[in-house]
């Protein structure tokens, strides 16, 4: 690799596709128990049907072509290979916008969001030049070259990426892990960032809140809204945090299975898409993300970055730039769990949850335009 920015195209070798299909054909299936549902993990009948479609119906080459329709590049930053999409708008008034995906995701999350941002239907709507990097350890920002790729280190890499691209002023947006990265970019490069916009949903807010020291102590169990927030936090600790517990403590151990078994990698991601969404996501888009994890071995390397962040105390500093929050599947608990400045842009949407760029891209694009449009 080199610190120069080099064009990149996805080209998965045919033997890798053949190997995937063979592994899916010869998969060994865990037996279920009578009456078991999602509370015990991904139901076997659901996963068998999805795996068969991945093997015999899903057209990876078509998805590869669709991704390659967007200009892609690679460069080396801080010793790490970084892959990113860079789509420039034809509009002369377009503003640079850096967008970062989360877990378990990839830049494929933005395939239906990019067009509304780059080429909005109305000339009155703000347009953007979109820069969408793959997080270190995800997609083609692999393999990991070193330990220690925390949110803070990633944010500094994104700042360097924007400098290399020649952008002096830009907005930043993210969801899940990407929201943490976006906030840190704004904190470290406040002179260059026009604003930071993040997405969340009630369950994600509750999940994050469980790791914030003292937050639960500030909630009043006799208040109905606080009680619901506490209920969700407790449910996450008891029933929903297993995937993080293993990755935060033993990423290498789970990594063996994720890179050797396409069934495990499929279940690992499909479970979150099922539980963390309330609007339909195209099955091909889901499998595109799963395939990117499989072909690049990102299941293991992404787990290592989660481990690094869990063991890090570097969370950066608050940023003085304007903040925007888009809450999907909104209810009153998010206001209690997400500290927001009184003058922050705050939008609430009834539908959509953890993956709004895939669930309702037009809604997210409109909120990004509303927030960044007046900023300079």
Domains and CATH numbers, the chain: 6-201+241-372 (3.40.50.1820)
Q: What gap in Å lies between CA 98 and CA 168, rounded to an integer?
A: 12
> Average of pLDDT values for 195-216?
89
Question: Across all residues in the chain, what is the average pLDDT?
Answer: 95
Give first-to-last CA distance, the chain, whole Å.
Answer: 35
Residue 212: what pLDDT? 77
What is residue 217's predicted lDDT score, i.e. its pLDDT? Answer: 83
Q: Which residues contact 365 (CB under 8 A, 6 or more apart)?
A: 113, 116, 117, 120
Rounded to an integer, what distance in angstroms lies between the CA atom of residue 9 and that of residue 136?
Answer: 18
Report how far residue 72's alpha carbon sits from residue 81's, in angstroms, rounded to the nearest whole number.
13
Do residues 134 and 107 touch, judged by C-beta distance below 8 A? yes
d(CA 132, CA 110): 8
pLDDT tier for residue 213 given thresholds of 50, 70 and 90? confident
Question: Residue 206 has what pLDDT?
Answer: 92
Provide mean pLDDT across the span 59-69. Answer: 98
CA distance 64 to 130: 19
Residue with tokens 């078994």: 261
Residue 375 has pLDDT above 70, yes or no: yes
Q: What share of the chain is helix, strand, coil (3-state, %, to 5)?
A: 50, 15, 40
Q: What token pair was written down for 88?
A: 């420039």
pLDDT value of residue 283: 96
Gap between the Cα atoms of 306 and 138, Å rounded: 11
In terms of pLDDT, which residue wins out, 236 or 211? 236
Is the predicted pLDDT of residue 330 greater than 80, yes or no? yes
Strands 80-87 and 95-100: unpaired
pLDDT at 241: 93
Helix (H) or strand (E) holding 128: strand 128-133
Q: Is the pLDDT of residue 317 over 80?
A: no
The strand order across the sheet containing 323-328 reads 6-8, 72-77, 80-87, 128-133, 95-100, 170-175, 193-200, 323-328, 345-349
For residue 160, how many other CB atoms are within 10 A of its CB?
16
- Alpha carbon 313 to its chain's center: 22
| Contacts of 204 by beta carbon, 8 Å cutoff, 6+ apart | 176, 276, 353, 354
Which has the closest alpha carbon to 137: 194, 177, 96? 177
Q: Using 50, 70 and 90 to split pLDDT, how confident is the model at 1?
A: low
Confidence of residue 61 (pLDDT cuts 50, 70, 90): very high
Angle, vertex CA 334, rays to CA 331 and CA 337, nearest 5:
155
Residues 80-90 as b/e (b if ≥16 CB within 10 A, e otherwise) read bbbbbbbbebe
Query: Token digits for 34?
Result: 């009578």
Do 288 and 54 contact (CB within 8 A), yes or no?
no
Q: Give the Å distances, CA to CA, from 186 to 76, 183, 252, 272, 370.
A: 22, 5, 32, 28, 19
């Amino acid at each position: 690799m080199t610190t120069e920015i080099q064009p990149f195209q996805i080209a998965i070798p045919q033997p890798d596709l053949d190997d995937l299909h063979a592994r899916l054909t010869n998969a060994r299936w865990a037996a279920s128990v009578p009456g078991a549902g999602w509370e015990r993990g991904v139901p076997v009948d659901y996963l068998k049907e999805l795996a068969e479609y991945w093997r015999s119906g899903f057209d990876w080459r078509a998805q590869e072509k669709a991704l390659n329709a967007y200009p892609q590049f690679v460069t080396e930053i801080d010793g790490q290979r970084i892959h990113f999409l860079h789509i420039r708008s034809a509009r002369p008034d377009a503003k640079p916008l850096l967008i970062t995906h989360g877990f378990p995701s990839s830049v494929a999350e933005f395939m239906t969001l990019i067009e509304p941002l780059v080429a909005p239907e109305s000339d009155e709507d703000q347009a953007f030049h979109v820069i969408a990097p793959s997080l270190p350890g995800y997609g083609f920002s692999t393999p990991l070259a070193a330990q220690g790729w925390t949110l803070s280190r990633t944010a500094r890499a994104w700042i360097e990426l924007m400098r290399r691209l020649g952008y002096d002023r830009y907005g930043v947006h993210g969801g899940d892990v990407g929201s943490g990265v976006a906030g840190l970019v704004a904190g470290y490069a406040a002179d260059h960032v026009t604003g930071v916009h993040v997405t969340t949903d009630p369950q994600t807010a509750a999940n994050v809140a469980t790791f914030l020291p003292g937050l639960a102590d500030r909630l009043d169990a006799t208040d109905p809204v606080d009680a619901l927030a506490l209920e969700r936090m407790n449910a996450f600790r008891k029933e929903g945090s297993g995937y993080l517990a293993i990755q935060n403590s033993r990423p290498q151990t789970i990594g063996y299975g994720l890179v050797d078994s396409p069934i495990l990698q499929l279940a690992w991601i499909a479970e979150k898409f099922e539980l963390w969404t309330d609007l339909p996501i195209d099955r091909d888009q889901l499998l595109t993300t799963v395939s990117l994890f499989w072909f690049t071995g990102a299941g293991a390397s992404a787990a290592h970055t989660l481990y690094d962040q869990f063991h890090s105390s570097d969370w950066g500093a608050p940023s003085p730039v304007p903040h925007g929050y888009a809450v999907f599947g909104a209810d009153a608990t998010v206001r209690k769990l997400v500290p927001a400045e009184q003058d922050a842009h705050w939008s609430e949407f009834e539908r959509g949850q953890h993956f709004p760029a895939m669930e309702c891209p037009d809604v997210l694009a409109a909120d990004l335009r509303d927030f960044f449009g007046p900023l300079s």
